[in-house]
Structure 1
Amino acid sequence: MENQVTQLLKAMVKPDYTACSYAFMQDGKIVCADAIGVIDKINNQPITTDCTFNVCSISKIYCTVCVMQLVDEGLIQLEDKVA
């Protein structure tokens, strides 16, 4: 699986993109991970799986999914107040 995902990312990462990385987890452990591209275009420094990213607006989507999972589990309701 790791090789297939890496090949797909290599095909998708273009020179005008900086980098891309991924990690798949199972039972709380990373089962495969890789990074494609460069983190510093000026110095052509390759990205590694240890690099961090600012997730910006993507974190809103992640938070929404987590909230909806709690709703599905009956732990909270959409009408509950946030404080």
Structure 2
Amino acid sequence: MSFTQELRRWVDPIWQASFEHPFITGLADGTLPLDRFRFYVQQDSYYLTEFGRVLAVAASRAGDLAEASELAAHVRTTWHSSRGWQG
């Protein structure tokens, strides 16, 4: 068994439980309360905004222009995702 297969086997109970989480099942079957979904979206937006900042710092410290450009593209995508639109 490969290392990744062993890891996958080891975490399988956690992996499967994630599909049974009340948030996920409520989202899937339409019973998730709106206030919980709204909170999730707000937290996700906050996370993406801060993650975009981290990527921007990484881009500023990149070893070459190709690496900086790639990171900058990720910053742009992350920033737009945090605002609810792609561009």
TM-score range, shorter chain: 0.3 to 0.5
Higher RCO structure (Cα 8 Å, ≥6 apart): 2
Structure that is richer in helix per residue: 2
- Name the TM-score, length of structure 1 as normaliser: 0.35
TM-score with structure 2 setting the length: 0.33
- Judging by fraction of residues, say which structure has more strand: 1
